[in-house]
Amino acid sequence: MNINFTWVKEKALNEIDIFANPENKPRLLHLEKHLNQEQEILVIDPKNNRSVKLPLHQIESFETMGHLVKVNLLNQQNYLMQKRLKELINLEKENFYRINNSQILNLSSIQSFQLGEHARLEVQTKTDTTYVVSRHYAKNIKERLSCSNN
């Protein structure tokens, strides 16, 4: 099967047009279901040690705690994951990017940013939390933020 892409800047970001033969309808319905499915991650509630599934859009950041990761939600709740931060690098396709050696941030939660001390980028989220982006990751984050504004 050949797949052809045409990129149109005037097209809305939340809209994709697909033209296909009606014989491909079952495949495309499966693809649509997969694309619309909200991704979730499995975390541990520290209050009762139970596993909980959380949708990614509710997560503001991930923070390293040795062999555990603290998951900070937009509603100020916290959960844990039995992973290391480097194991979450695959979340970049979901708009989560590493901002320093100990944190990964959901770029969708950023409200504003400014230049801080020592050429570090300071990012303020919708929950009024300030995160410091290290110089090493600042260029990548600035590029991602400028791409999402266009």
* Domain spans in the chain, listed from the N-terminal domain onward: 40-149
* The pLDDT value given to residue 8: 87
Strand order in the sheet with 110-115: 110-115, 121-125, 130-133
Topology annotation, domain 40-149: OB fold (Dihydrolipoamide Acetyltransferase, E2P) (2.40.50)
pTM above 0.85, yes or no: no
pLDDT tens-digit series, residues 61-109: 999 998 899 999 999 999 999 999 989 988 988 889 999 999 999 998 9
